[in-house]
């Protein structure tokens, strides 16, 4: 549905180096999917979306939307193509002096006046108000609506000319958590009912977790990682997998407590044989004393007991499970464990966990 082929966007800056906002970006978004674009401030997210709306032309490369190369179009053709692309903004950007219904009808009046009769336009507005759950609020002015309701009107307006693509730039970042959830489920419902392809820019990973089928991480104008949620999670050490399933928080004291228990256990073990005591002393380097915390990330599919295998292994290795999360996303389950282990045994323990296919990192406390 959407293909970016080798897209670069360079902004010339007077008296300084040019800014490379997009650097040879290649991206494919499946028809009817919801694709998230994440990345830090300045990564190029808005530039990418502006290029997709054809408000801006890339410096080089092609942007194909619904089989049409936007970068080749001018004038009337470009206006026609842009009607296939709806846009939802962070703040709904409604006309304050127009009612919700008039705001929704506005794109039809401007772009397609001759194509619809007044009655057809009215019918379309009624349909859209129902779609976004505002059946009885068509006559309300934006000032009479809540932030979440205004965003619903914004979404309805973006859909009024039946676009094939809906581009959303931070559509929920001005909303409270409850309205955010409602707007996200509305976007998913809109996709399910209309088949529209949605590209959503966000700085909130929870948005990606909640509604995206695929995701791209941008950094300095380039793609760091991109794929379906399943693909991204299948690479548990990758930046997106780590952000999608953040490491469970751990109280440093828990690791220290484990240390105390361990010391008691060591003492018991060591006092049982003088020889063991000596060899333990000889093998433990001063910088290896105490405990370290391992972050273990693994994925599994339904029917595969990866989670229990991992917990069994942790028990067998004498590691203390300080915290853990299991989460399902799409068809993948992701587990994260924080394991306190004796520093002196790190190499062997890490090796054995990795042998089970998990990704392991030492967390600095």
Ligand X SMILES: Nc1ncnc2c1ncn2[C@@H]1O[C@H](COP(=O)(O)OP(=O)(O)OP(=O)(O)O)[C@@H](O)[C@H]1O
State yes or no: residue 19 binds ligand X (CB under 6 A).
yes
Whether residue 295 contacts residue 338, with contact meaning beta carbons closer than 8 Å, is answered with yes
CB of 13 to Mg ion, least distance (A): 18
Looking at 1, 25, 35, 39, which residue binds ligand X (CB under 6 A)? 39
CB of 22 to ligand X, least distance (A): 8
CB of 120 to ligand X, least distance (A): 37
Of 72, 28, 43, 77, the closest CA to residue 197 belongs to 28
Whether residue 33 contacts residue 14, with contact meaning beta carbons closer than 8 Å, is answered with no
Q: Which is nearer to ligand X, 45 or 137 (CB)?
A: 45
The Cα 27–Cα 166 span in angstroms is 16
Q: Which does 44 bind (CB under 5 to 8 A by kind): ligand X, Mg ion, none?
A: ligand X
State yes or no: residue 360 binds ligand X (CB under 6 A).
no
Residue 101 makes CB contacts below 8 A (sequence gap 6+) with 125, 129, 138, 139
CB of 41 to Mg ion, least distance (A): 7
Which helix (H) or strand (E) covers residue 38, if one does?
strand 34-38
State yes or no: residue 216 binds ligand X (CB under 6 A).
no
State yes or no: residue 35 binds ligand X (CB under 6 A).
no
State yes or no: residue 309 binds Mg ion (CB under 5 A).
no
Q: Which is nearer to Mg ion, 202 or 300 (CB)?
A: 202
Q: Which does 21 bind (CB under 5 to 8 A by kind): Mg ion, ligand X, none?
A: ligand X
Please provide the size of the chain in residues.
Answer: 365
CB of 183 to ligand X, least distance (A): 19
State yes or no: residue 21 binds ligand X (CB under 6 A).
yes
The Cα 157–Cα 142 span in angstroms is 13
The Cα 64–Cα 50 span in angstroms is 14
Tell me which residues in 42-101 interact with Mg ion (CB under 5 A).
46
Of 270, 333, 253, 347, the closest CA to residue 298 belongs to 333
Q: 188 exposed, middle or buried (CB, 10 Å; 0-12, 13-18, 19+)? A: middle
State yes or no: residue 173 binds ligand X (CB under 6 A).
no
Q: Can you read off the two tokens belonging to residue 249?
A: 């928080």
Q: Which residues bind ligand X (CB under 6 A)?
A: 11, 13, 19, 21, 39, 41-47
């Amino acid at each position: 549905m959407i293909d970016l082929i080798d897209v670069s966007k360079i902004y010339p800056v007077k008296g300084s180096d040019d800014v490379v906002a997009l650097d040879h970006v290649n991206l494919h978004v499946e028809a009817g999917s919801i694709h998230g674009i994440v990345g830090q401030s300045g990564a190029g997210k808005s530039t990418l979306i502006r290029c997709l709306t054809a408000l801006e032309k890339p410096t080089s490369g092609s942007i194909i939307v619904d089989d049409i190369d936007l970068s080749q179009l001018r004038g009337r053709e470009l206006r026609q193509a842009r009607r296939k692309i709806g846009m939802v903004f962070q703040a709904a950007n409604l006309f304050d002096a127009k009612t919700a219904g008039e705001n929704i009808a506005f794109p039809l009046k401007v772009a397609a006046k001759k194509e619809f009769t007044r009655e057809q336009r009215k019918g379309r507005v009624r349909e859209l108000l129902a779609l976004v759950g505002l059946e009885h609020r068509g006559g309300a002015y934006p000032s009479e609506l809540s932030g979440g309701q205004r965003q619903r009107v914004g979404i309805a307006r973006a859909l009024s000319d039946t676009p094939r693509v809906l581009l959303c730039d931070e559509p929920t970042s001005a909303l409270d958590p409850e309205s955010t959830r409602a707007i996200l489920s509305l976007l998913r419902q809109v996709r399910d009912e209309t088949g529209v392809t949605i590209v959503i820019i966000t700085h909130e990973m929870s948005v990606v977790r909640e509604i995206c089928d695929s995701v791209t991480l941008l950094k300095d104008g380039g793609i760091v990682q991109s794929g379906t949620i399943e693909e991204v999670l299948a690479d548990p050490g990758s930046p997106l997998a780590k952000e999608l399933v953040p490491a469970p928080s751990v109280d440093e004291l828990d690791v220290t407590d484990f240390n105390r228990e361990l010391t008691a256990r060591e003492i018991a073990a060591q006092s049982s044989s003088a020889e063991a005591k000596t060899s333990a002393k000889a093998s433990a380097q001063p910088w290896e004393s105490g405990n370290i915390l391992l972050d273990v990330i693994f994925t599994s599919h339904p029917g595969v007991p990866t989670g229990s295998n991992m917990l069994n292994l942790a028990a067998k290795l004498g590691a203390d499970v300080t915290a853990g999360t299991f989460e399902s996303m799409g068809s993948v389950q992701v587990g994260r464990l924080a394991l306190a282990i004796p520093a002196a045994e790190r190499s062997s323990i890490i090796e054995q966990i990795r042998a089970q296919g998990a990704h392991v990192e030492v967390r600095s406390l």
